[in-house]
Amino acid sequence: MRPYLNAVQIIISVALIALIVLQSRTAGLGRMLGGDSSIHRTRRGVEKTMFHVTIGLASVFFVMSLLSVIL
């Protein structure tokens, strides 16, 4: 059972890394450094979906990590 949990964790972590990198590319370098903090911007469309999927994957990764430690 443990090798399957490890394989699932690796797959989730790679997907999570890819989503985070894609989100940071769309934000731009100025926004990552705090340059656009005065402008309020709403997420729409694909960006909003990627944001929600990232939160979901992070939650699943957390649960899988706990299961891996418990088992």
List the pLDDT tens digit at each of the 71 positions of the chain. 788 889 999 999 999 999 999 887 665 555 555 555 556 667 778 888 888 999 999 999 999 999 888 88
Helix (H) and strand (E) counts for the chain? Answer: 3, 0
pLDDT of residue 46: 84
Buried b / exposed e along 22-41 (16+ C-beta atoms within 10 A): eeeeeeeeeeeeeeeeeeee
Minimal CA–CA distance to 12: which of 46, 71, 62?
A: 62
User: Whole-prediction pTM value?
Assistant: 0.71
pLDDT of residue 34: 55
pLDDT of residue 32: 52
| Interatomic CA distance for residues 43 and 17, integer angstroms | 20
Written as six digits, the tokens of 34 are: 């705090």
pLDDT of residue 37: 53
